[in-house]
Amino acid sequence: MSADSLRDHLVSFGLSEKAAAAYLAVLQSGEATTGDVSRAAGISQGYVYELATELAERGLVTVDETASPTRLRARPPADALGTFSERLDRMSEDIERLYRRAESSEPAVEIVHSRTTVRKRIARAVDSAQSEVVSTIPATEFSHLREALADARERGVAVYLQLVAPLGNASTPVDWDGYGTVVKTWDATPPVTVVADERTGVMGAHGVLSGRHGSAYALAFSQRDIAGAFFGNAISNFWPMGEVQHVTAPDPLPATYDHVRTAVTHAALHRADGRSLLADVTVRAVGSEETTTYERVPVVDVRQNLVGESTNAFPIENSLVFDTPDGQIAAGGNDGSLQPFYEGYAAVSVTLYDGGTA
């Protein structure tokens, strides 16, 4: 690195041009008198004394006033760079704190008219998902979301993907397992809906992503109650209408889940294969913070409509029923805005075991 480049970096870390020049003069010789620095940096000797104090406070040099004339010595690189590292750490903490504050102040609902921005908001929601994505999008949008969906599946996210009109080449063979847990198509034009983790997503007119959308717009949201409402609408009114194109294979057992809806999906897949299930499950009664754990209890029912035959009593019901020593307990999810108001219990975690062929 040239002296000019190093000077630029020093200035970027808060040194003035003259302080940087003075430090380089000391650094190049290891140690220097105030007169040497004055001549090398083109700074008056009186000002060198002032700069020496600043450089010493920053941990870059030591000042020996017992010598005559006063001598400045460069501190070892490891010590000098340590001061910059500490400043970077503090700056990083401050930036992160301000970023979190700004993020938390984002509006719960953002009205978006631009198609490009809608695509970005959808991709951002999918990128943020840790457990689940439920989506209804025009099939022609798959190419724009393909990478985000693939990354989500790599992270182990359950993706329920419904591709709607215009279907285009949606029937063309694709390795759908890399993009969706369950993939459906529907030759209709329902609203665009993408919900990630029942927390954030996008909902808007079909036209905002298809054809000439004109005055069409979408809502980008980041509030659980809003996300829960759109999620419920999607799986109740849109999802059942699709034609199944792909269903993933059930997870190998034993398998542990902290997202109960994913556990329900895979339990349904195992039961469809004729397999009975046992489970270790930790539950809490709705309205209580206390939990109870049951080990190797039979799973006697699976209630859901996301994969295979619908077995739930109402559209958003998604739960497992366990035969415990305390009687049969139906447990829904522990996260999201759709708390298990009907079941009475929330499952905090579930481990499924192969109970043999039914």
Strands (DSSP E) contained in 208-316 are: 218-221, 243-247, 255-257, 275-285, 291-303
pLDDT attached to residue 349: 93
- What is the DSSP secondary structure assignment for residue 250, as one 8-state letter? P
Across the chain, which has 358 residues, the per-10-residue mean pLDDT values are 72 81 87 89 87 86 83 81 63 60 61 90 94 96 94 96 85 81 95 94 92 79 88 92 95 95 96 96 87 96 94 89 94 68 83 84
pLDDT attached to residue 328: 94
The number of beta carbons lying within 10 Å of the beta carbon of residue 338 is: 22
One-letter amino acid for residue 208 of the chain = V
CA atoms of 343 and 147, how far apart (whole Å): 37
Give the end-to-end CA distance of the chain in Å, rounded to a whole number: 71
Find all residues with CB under 8 Å of 311, minimum gap 6, and list them: 268, 301, 302, 303, 304, 305
Q: Are 312 and 304 in contact (CB under 8 A)?
A: yes
CA atoms of 308 and 310, how far apart (whole Å): 6
Burial class (CB in 10 A: 0-12, 13-18, 19+), 103: exposed
One-letter amino acid for residue 260 of the chain = V
Q: DSSP 3-state assignment of 27?
A: helix
Return the ∠ at Cα 328 (arms to 276 and 311), rounded to 5°.
Answer: 55
Strands (DSSP E) contained in 205-290 are: 218-221, 243-247, 255-257, 275-285
Around 266, how many Cα atoms within 13 Å sit in the side-chain half-sphere? 26
pTM for this entry:
0.69
Radius of gyration of the chain (CA): 31
CA atoms of 305 and 130, how far apart (whole Å): 21
pLDDT attached to residue 257: 96
DSSP 3-state percent helix, strand, coil across the chain (nearest 5): 40, 30, 30
- Dihedral (Cα; 101, 333, 270, 301), 10-degree rounding: -170
pLDDT attached to residue 293: 96
List, as one string, the DSSP characters of 75-97: PPHHHHHHHHHHHHHHHHHHHHH
Domains of the chain: 3-101 (1.10.10.10), 109-247 (3.30.870.10), 255-357 (2.30.30.690)
109-112 and 61-64: which strand pairing?
unpaired
Q: Are 3 and 20 in contact (CB under 8 A)?
A: no
